[in-house]
């Protein structure tokens, strides 16, 4: 991000080694990763100054399968591999895997998305192998397999059903054990005999213990995997609490004691599973959308062979350059260019536009596009991970896994919470036994209540729940986040700066007054223009009826086209009066023997909602400016048409950057909306940037957010979603922190039972998720 101020670097980041200012770390992400690695006893792997290659990482396991064949070249000697990682339960898992992989020899990039569980690995060939890197992950206790969208969807469905089964078993057992507990509680007031009480305790144990063993597997397995790798996660205190409550109750029952809390243990598990299931459902909404997009590429393609025969091939076997037949009603599995046929196509999955558009020879199509009315022949240009559809999913994953300020705060607090949770529970137990004179059994139950009620699940969900839903909502409308911090930076924008061509306008010249042009002149000019790729020539050829290109046409650079004595080009080249040169828009002139010159005027039409978007921005108190490199008269006309008062014309890229830096220096937060390729310096200089981009430009432009389509409404939608997401995140923090401030002292004081603790902890997580889900129910204003 260009900020106009040069910083003197005095130190290097202690984690990644990048130059930083006076601080020890270049970013909060490095600070968190460094603290976690040291806490887990892996610090010896991360001293970049004295790194011993023999200690570069934990000793990798040998993978059960060979992953080398799945790696693909990415250019410049780089190998790329997409994997699916199972066993992720919190953000700490992502940090640990990324941090360990970053220290492997030759690794260039390692990015893991918690929502889709996809790991993207890049490394230098010769310095590492795919099996070495996979083994390093497996050594941490995670399962690794090749990335398969269909398999991922199946596993997510299986995981959801397993959670639901566990929830049903826990709920059934909790209801029955609670009935027995009511009988025991009533018996205490009515002089129930010890034999009857012990019998009810044993019946409760027979119901609760098998249910706990089955329903608690999701927590127990995660905790065991973490402890085997000498680390902790949120499932560790949960598992300890459930096992302590159940174990102590069984011991008391075997000894004929009065203190049995099977009802608390199983009901605790029931409420925890409710929170886990709702969290999985919330993440599944966005994960399901991404999986659906990727699954669209896993179908079969009808490939046209050189002999005219048609073969049905899986999409993964199709190669660029092949010709595919796309039937009416069929959805494309590959990217390609239309070579034959005309049809209406539905591009809603790609652009968010609801209206079909016409596909004709030369048009670029993308995987996920639906062919509506007639067959098409398409030349394949990209398949699999090279398609736009795969790029959209990657951008969405990047948006979900970023290290925004809110994320850094929540993650830092959640990570440091684990040792605090165990310490508070131990202090509570010892305090009640030694200072309060309480028996160890009830003191242990108070400690269990503290252990459960202080679990930072709600705080850990505060940001991710909103972030995942926000990126999913924008993705469904053709708005792609390339930076995870973009939404956070969009809040509080003071000024929106627009580029003109391709931003406020369509960026495509259109022939004006076609009805006033003689037919013979239009036909002749079109036959000349058909031989050129100049934008004005192409616009003229498209406006005229189809005509063949005139043979023998020569293109004179900077002047125009000529064929013998016939010329189509600029006024100056044709020898016309230069003083009358048009100041209002581009033009071409046709000169032919025996006839007066004919003028063809063009315009770049405004986007249909440009004026409305500018007016709505101004109504919100946001300043709107226009910076353009075009001529002053043209820029003034566009500014007047859309209602922008502050505009500058004939701006070079450096002038745009200077203007943006001036506004930022004055304390304004600036949003730049411009073409992602030629406005890269201005986009980088702004506080945050958006780019209307053709599909082919998505991965190339410098903007933080890319939106599809020929409208500017996505600018308002992004601002609205950012504002609402920020409000929801703050609300989630208030819920999570308020809950802990109120509940922890009550639990330590003994006023909260494990049952109430489980209900309170799960309720706080559910409230956070329900609050985040409001984002999908709110409409942009």
Which residues are known catalytic residues? 499
Gyration radius of the chain's alpha carbons: 32
Report d(CA 201, CA 446) in Å as an integer: 20
Structure-block tokens of residue 685: 């200089």
Structure-block tokens of residue 267: 């009901």
CB atoms within 10 A of CB 523: 13
φ/ψ of residue 480, rounded to 5? -115, 125
Confirm if 300 and 263 have CB atoms less than 8 A apart: no
3-state SS, residue 363: coil
Confirm if 346 and 359 have CB atoms less than 8 A apart: no
φ/ψ of residue 301, rounded to 5? -125, 135
Quickly tell me which residue has 């993440």 as its tokens: 283
Report d(CA 532, CA 510) in Å as an integer: 16
Residues pairing with 480 in the sheet:
706
- Within 13 Å and on the Cβ side, how many CA atoms surround 270? 23
CA dist list (Å): 400 to 18, 407, 414, 492: 24, 10, 18, 21
Pairing of β 646-648 and β 623-627: parallel
Report d(CA 283, CA 191) in Å as an integer: 51
Structure-block tokens of residue 211: 């249910």
Report d(CA 739, CA 461) in Å as an integer: 14
Question: Any residues with CB less than 8 A from the CB of 661 and at least 6 apart, and which?
Answer: 2, 3, 4, 685
Confirm if 321 and 358 have CB atoms less than 8 A apart: no
3-state SS, residue 358: strand
CB atoms within 10 A of CB 513: 9
Quote the crossing angle between the two packed helices 235-254 and 194-215, to the nearest 10°. Answer: 150
Structure-block tokens of residue 237: 């205190």
């Amino acid at each position: 991000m260009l900020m106009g101020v040069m910083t003197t670097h005095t130190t290097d980041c202690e984690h990644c080694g990048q130059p930083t200012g006076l601080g020890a770390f270049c970013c909060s992400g490095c600070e968190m990763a460094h603290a976690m690695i040291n806490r887990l006893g892996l610090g010896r792997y991360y001293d970049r100054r004295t790194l011993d290659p023999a200690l570069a990482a934990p000793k990798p396991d040998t993978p059960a399968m060979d992953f080398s064949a799945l790696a693909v070249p990415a250019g410049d000697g780089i190998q790329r591999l997409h994997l699916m990682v199972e066993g992720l339960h919190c953000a700490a898992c992502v940090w640990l895997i990324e941090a360990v992989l970053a220290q492997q020899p030759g690794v260039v990039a390692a990015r893991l998305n918690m929502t889709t569980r996809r790991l993207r690995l890049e490394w230098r060939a010769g310095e590492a192998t795919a099996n070495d890197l996979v083994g390093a992950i497996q050594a941490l206790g995670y399962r690794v397999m090749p990335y398969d969208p269909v398999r991922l969807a199946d596993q997510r469905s299986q995981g959801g059903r397993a959670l639901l089964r566990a929830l049903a078993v826990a709920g059934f057992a909790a209801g029955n054990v609670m009935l027995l507990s009511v009988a025991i509680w009533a018996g205490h007031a009515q002089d129930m005999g010890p034999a009857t009480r012990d019998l009810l305790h044993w019946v409760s144990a027979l119901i609760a213990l098998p249910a706990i063993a089955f329903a608690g597997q999701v927590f127990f397995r995660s905790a065991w995997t973490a402890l085997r790798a000498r680390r902790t996660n949120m499932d560790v205190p949960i598992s300890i609490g459930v096992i302590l409550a159940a174990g102590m109750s069984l011991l008391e029952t075997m000894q004929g004691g009065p203190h049995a809390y099977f009802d608390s243990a199983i009901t605790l598990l029931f409420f925890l599973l409710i929170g886990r299931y709702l969290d999985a459902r919330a993440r599944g909404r966005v994960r399901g959308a991404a999986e659906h997009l990727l699954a669209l590429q896993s179908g079969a393609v009808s490939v046209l062979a050189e002999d005219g025969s048609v073969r049905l091939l899986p999409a993964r076997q199709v190669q660029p350059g092949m010709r595919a037949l796309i039937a009416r009603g069929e959805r494309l599995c590959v990217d390609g260019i239309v070579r034959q046929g005309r049809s209406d196509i539905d591009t809603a999955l790609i652009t968010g536009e609801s209206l079909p558009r016409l596909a004709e020879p030369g048009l670029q199509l993308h995987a996920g596009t639906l062919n509506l009315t007639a067959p098409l022949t398409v030349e394949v240009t990209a398949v699999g991970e090279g398609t736009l559809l795969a790029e959209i999913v990657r951008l969405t994953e990047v948006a979900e896994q970023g290290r925004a300020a809110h994320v850094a705060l929540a993650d830092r607090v959640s990570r440091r919470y684990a040792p605090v949770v165990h310490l508070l529970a131990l202090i509570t137990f010892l305090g009640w036994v030694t200072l309060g004179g309480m028996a160890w059994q009830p003191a242990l139950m108070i400690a269990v209540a503290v252990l459960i009620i202080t679990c930072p699940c709600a705080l850990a969900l505060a940001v991710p729940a909103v972030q995942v839903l926000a990126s999913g909502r924008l993705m469904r409308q053709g708005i792609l986040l390339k930076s995870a911090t973009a939404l956070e930076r969009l809040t509080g924008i003071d000024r929106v700066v627009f580029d003109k061509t391709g931003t406020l306008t369509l960026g495509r010249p259109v022939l004006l007054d076609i009805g006033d042009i003689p037919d013979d002149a239009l036909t002749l000019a079109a036959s000349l223009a058909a031989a050129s790729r100049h934008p004005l020539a192409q616009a003229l050829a498209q406006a005229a009826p189809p005509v063949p290109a005139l043979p023998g046409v020569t293109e004179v650079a900077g002047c125009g086209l000529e064929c013998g004595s016939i010329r189509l080009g600029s006024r100056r080249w044709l020898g016309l009066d230069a003083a009358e040169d048009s100041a209002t828009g581009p033009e071409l002139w046709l000169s032919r023997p025996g006839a007066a010159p004919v003028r063809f005027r063009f315009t770049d039409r405004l986007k249909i909602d440009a004026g409305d978007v500018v007016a709505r921005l101004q109504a919100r108190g946001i300043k709107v400016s226009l910076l353009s490199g075009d001529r002053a008269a043209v820029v003034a006309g566009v500014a007047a048409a859309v209602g922008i008062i502050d505009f500058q014309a004939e701006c070079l890229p450096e002038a745009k950057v200077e203007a943006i830096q001036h506004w930022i220096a004055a304390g304004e937060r600036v949003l730049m909306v411009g073409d992602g390729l030629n406005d890269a310096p201005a986009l980088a200089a702004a506080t945050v940037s958006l780019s209307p981009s053709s599909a082919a430009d998505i991965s190339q432009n410098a903007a933080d957010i890319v939106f599809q389509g020929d409208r500017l409404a996505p600018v308002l939608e992004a601002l609205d979603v950012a504002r609402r997401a920020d409000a929801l995140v703050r609300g989630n923090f208030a819920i999570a922190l308020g809950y802990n401030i109120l509940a922890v002292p009550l639990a330590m004081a003994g006023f909260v039972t494990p049952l109430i603790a489980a209900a309170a902890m799960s309720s706080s997580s559910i409230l956070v998720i329900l609050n985040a889900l409001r984002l999908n129910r709110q409409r942009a204003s």
